[in-house]
Structure 1
Amino acid sequence: MAGKNQHVVRRGNDWAVLGAGNSRDTAHFGTQREAIARATEIARNQSSEVLIHGRNNLIRERNSYGNDPFPPRG
């Protein structure tokens, strides 16, 4: 069973990791890079995805760490 997707989102001048459907952030970081590293660790443990939001709050990147139903060919 796949876990919750992890979102990396802007919070003021900081960045946060937010589990999909959660009302509270999992963690806060000073840089986006740190938030991405933590979100990736959680997603690998839960076999889910990381969705990285840019400063404009739109998703700019998506990485899957679980059973990808449609893996790209070579």
Structure 2
Amino acid sequence: MKNYHLTKNAHSDWQLKRENAERASINFEGLNKSEAVRQSAAYLSDSGSSLKIHKGNGQFQEERTYPRSADPTKSKG
């Protein structure tokens, strides 16, 4: 499973970056966080990837798996 992080860059824009990559896969210039999350989800929708979403200050906030059926922690409850 590929791991991606949605973080703010030095210019205060959101970016989607594959873990351990030097450059961002996508830069979301001028978009707010919710729109960046939505576009990241669309980008990762069929790829079997994990999206780690960070707060504006860089702290980890939550993790989502795409597609949802690939979530390894899925429970029956």
TM over 0.5: yes
Q: Say whether the 8 Å CA contact 1:17–1:38 is kept in structure 2.
A: no
- Residue 18 of structure 2 is matched in structure 1 by 19
Offset of 1:68 from its aligned partner? 2.2
TM-score between both structures, scaled by the size of structure 1: 0.78
Give the distance between the partners of 2:42 and 2:19, measured in 1 at CA.
15
- In the alignment of these two chains, the number of paired residues is 72
Q: What corresponds to 2:6 in structure 1?
A: 8
Structure 2: any 5+ residue segments left out of the alignment?
none
Give the structure 1 partner of residue 51 of structure 2. 50
Alignment partners' CA distance in 2, 1:26 and 1:59: 19
Q: Which moved more, 1:64-73 or 1:22-31?
A: 64-73
Considering only aligned residues, what root-mean-square deviation do their CA atoms show, in Å?
1.6
TM-score, reference length from structure 2: 0.76
